[in-house]
Each structure stands twice: as C-alpha cells, then as structure tokens.
Amino acid sequence: MNDSEIFILGAKGQLGTALLQRYPGSKNADIGELDITDQKSVEAFDWSSVKVILNAAAYTNVDGAESSEGRRTAWLVNAVSPGYLQQVAVKNDITLVHISTDYVFDGVKNPHSEYEAFSPLSVYGSSKAAGDIVVGLAPKHYILRTSWVIGEGKNFVRTMLELAQNGVNPSVVNDQVGRLTFTSTLVDAIHHLLSSKSQYGTYNVSNDGEPMSWSEIAREVFKYAQLSNTVSEVTTEQYYAGKTGIAARPLQSSLDLAKIKATGFTPRNWQEDLATYVKKELA
C-alpha cells in the first residue's frame, strides 16, 4: 500500500493529525476541503486512485450533541455521512477504516467485547452506533472501537497539565474507569490491520495496562510531570450537579483487547505512552 492510495478525512483532528504524520504522502482533507456531510461533493470526488479511506472525521462534542442543533449535526456527521463513504467504498472497491467509541455502550459490562449489543446513553453514542452499523455494510471495512483518545488537540492530559500549571488542584471524577488511547497506538493498529490484511470487521483498540478512573489518571499525569498538585475525587453525579445539557457517560469504558492481540498487534501500556507524552508536552 502506497501513501498516495490513502485518503485521510478529518485530517486536522487529533487522530487525523497523527495519521497524516504516519502517511505524509497521502491525500487528506478536513471539513474545509471535503465536508463529508456534503453528499454531492463526496460522490463527485475522483476516488479512482484511492484504495483506503481513513475516516477520522467526526462530531466529537459529546455534550454539544445533546442540544437540538448538536443532535442534528452529530447524526449527520457520525451516522448519515459514513453512509455516503460506505457507498463510495463499495462502488470503488475501497477499504473503509472508521473509528468507533466505547460510548456506543452503557458502561455496565466489563470489559466491552466487540460482540456486545449497542446500548448508547447519549446522542453522541447513538449517532456513533448508527455509523458503525452503516460502515459495517461495506464488505471491506475496519471499525476500530476506541476510548479516551489523547493526541494533538484538546484532551484530558493537556487540560490537567494546564490546570496544574495555573496552580489548580482539580476535582476529577472517580467513577468512570477505562484506559487512555494515544493516537500513536491507534495509528499503529490501523497500519497493522491494513498491512497484515487482517480479517475485515470491528476491533477494539486502546492502550493496554491497568484500567483506572479519571482521578487516578490525573494523578499519573502529575506524577510523570513531577508536579505536586493534588486531585480531589468526585463522583460523576457530583461533578455535573446543577449543570444542564450534560450527556450521560458510560462508567466502565475498558475494552477487551483479545481480538486485536490475536492478529499479532500488541498495544503498549498506557502509562508508558503517558510518560512519553507528558515529557514531550513539557519539553
């Protein structure tokens, strides 16, 4: 597979940025160049030299999706538009790589396997689940279901570092448990599935290691950053008390990694990647 046969969508997002770094010779577009909700533009695009679509485009504002406007946009970007890509993929014999989320589940089972039935709690989760269903109709598809993505962009680790540097000792929720997924790991997994020609389908992909709560992860961030800030623990209910328009979140986000491991892929420990990430952020 040649870089020039790859088309990255949502190229300016956290994952899109990391994909572009891995495949510098690829075609790429973000919403300004190709808005995936614009069916006519998607269909009119010259797909003849594309063998792989890496769809990193998404509406990822989980709370924003709860508003009447956000609900419409979330469904359009996360559910309807992957349908346009699926049609293009089938018509042009393209492999479609798409990204799913632990938010398609209610967070009761632990860990979540690829075979668990959808049970989304939020508009965002519902729209992503619908996107998974439509992408699954393409014979050549990989859906990577991931959680708690950390890369170049606004994310939890950056927020914690920023708060700490401003002298804040944050209150962080202690009842949502999962593992971070660094975009480097996600990109490695995508590359592995494509280059090993693994069986098409859905694969859970996060970093490996011990699942922890957001408050425990915040402490890990401060530990690697050698900051003495403290973290107070609050429940999700306490954290959002009095706020409106907040999406319900799954409490258990850990993904079962057995299926991707069985293809020969070994996800790194999230603490190892966190240490590297924090070091780079502070450099």
Task: Name the one range near ligand NDP by CB under 6 A: 50-58, 191-199, 230-238, 274-282.
Answer: 50-58
Distance between CA atoms of 130 and 122, rounded to whole angstroms? 12
Looking at 23, 105, 142, 148, which residue binds ligand NDP (CB under 6 A)?
148
Q: Is 124 a catalytic residue?
A: yes
**What is the smallest separation between the CB atom of 98 and ligand NDP, expressed in angstroms?**
7
By CB atoms closer than 10 A (0-12, 13-18, 19+), residue 279 is: exposed
CB of 111 to ligand NDP, least distance (A): 15
Please identify which residue in 6, 8, 53, 58 interacts with ligand NDP, judged by CB under 6 A: 58
User: Which residue, 103 or 224, is less far from ligand NDP as judged by CB?
Assistant: 103
174, 272, 124, 26: CA torsion to nearest 10: 170
Q: Which of 56, 129, 134, 278 binds ligand NDP (CB under 6 A)?
A: 56
With CB under 6 A as the contact rule, the residue among 6, 7, 8, 15 that binds ligand NDP is 15
- Which single residue brings its beta carbon nearest to ligand NDP? 13
**Taking the complex as a whole, how short is the minimal distance between the CB of residue 115 and ligand NDP, in angstroms?**
19
Kindly tell me which residue out of 22, 37, 158, 246 binds ligand NDP, with binding defined by CB under 6 A.
37
Q: Find the catalytic residue in 23, 84, 103, 124.
A: 124
CA distances from 180 to 37, 39, 138, 272, 277 (A): 29, 34, 29, 11, 12
3-state secondary structure 122-133: CHHHHHHHHHHH
The nearest distance, CB 228 to ligand NDP, in angstroms, is: 27
Pairwise CA distance, residues 106 & 133, whole Å: 17
217 touches 180 (CB < 8 A): yes
Distance CA 186, CA 202 (A): 14
Tokens of 244: 């409106």
Please tell me whether residue 30 binds ligand NDP under the rule CB under 6 A.
Answer: yes
Pairing mode, strands 52-55 and 6-9:
parallel
**In degrees rounded to 5, what are phi and psi of residue 29?**
-155, 145
User: Cβ of residue 226: shortest distance to ligand NDP, in angstroms?
Assistant: 26
Position among 57, 129, 157, 234 found at the interface with ligand NDP (CB under 6 A): 57
**Sites for ligand NDP among residues 150-169 (CB under 6 A):** 153
Helix or strand (DSSP H, E) at 251: none
Which of 95, 122, 146, 204 contacts ligand NDP by CB under 6 A? 146
How far is it, in rounded angstroms, from Cα 143 to Cα 202?
4
Contact call for residue 189 and ligand NDP (CB under 6 A): no
d(CA 221, CA 118): 32
Asked if residue 105 binds ligand NDP (CB under 6 A), the reply is no
Instruction: Summarize as ranges the residues that interact with ligand NDP (CB under 6 A).
Output: 9-10, 12-16, 30-31, 35-37, 56-60, 77, 99, 101, 128, 146-149, 153
Catalytic (active-site) positions: 124
